[in-house]
Amino acid sequence: MFARIITELGPWSWWVLGMILLAAELIMPGVFLVWIGVGAILTGALSLLFWEMGFWTWQLQAVLFAVFAGAAALAGRRLFKRLDADTDEPMLNQRSASLVGRTAVLQEPIREGRGRIKLDDTFWTVEGPDLPAGTRVKIVASSGRDLTVDAA
């Protein structure tokens, strides 16, 4: 089936696949299908050059597509890692991590290691030593949605 599709569409089959993958990236963003699409377009560019050559079999095209997609993914990863610059808001979108160091009053006592505090407009589950409600606590660590506290 794969060989038949490539034969019918000719060198444009890779271009079509590349465009479909790029369009799919718009629908399902995640910056991964872009690199596979780039691999398909690069294979399509070579197909335009070598389509009539005897060595340009669908097996060679598939291998080159895999190599190009892998290389594009690695290059894209390196590019985005380099573009990941320091920011003036390092805790942006890490709300629980940004709470470390703050103090609060226990809304519910910590029993068996778990209780609740209210910070701003949100109730947070806390872990720490057993303490009665109304005790002032300091947030010392965060793990996902849970905060670890000690008596302040």
pLDDT of residue 57: 87
Does one domain contain both 64 and 112? no
In angstroms, the CA 128 to CA 136 distance is 12
Q: Say how many Å lie between the first and final Cα of the chain, rounded.
A: 69
Specify if 89 maps to a domain.
no
Does one domain contain both 77 and 128? no
Whole-prediction pTM value?
0.52
Mean pLDDT (the chain, rounded): 86
Sign of CA pseudo-dihedral 31, 93, 150, 127: negative
Does one domain contain both 64 and 111? no
Does one domain contain both 18 and 70? yes
Does one domain contain both 69 and 117? no
List the CATH number of the domain containing 101.
2.40.50.140
- Domain of residue 131, residue span: 95-151
Separation in Å, CA 94 to CA 10, 67, 132: 49, 36, 28
Average pLDDT over residues 54-59: 86
In angstroms, the CA 146 to CA 112 distance is 15
For the chain, what is the domain count? 2
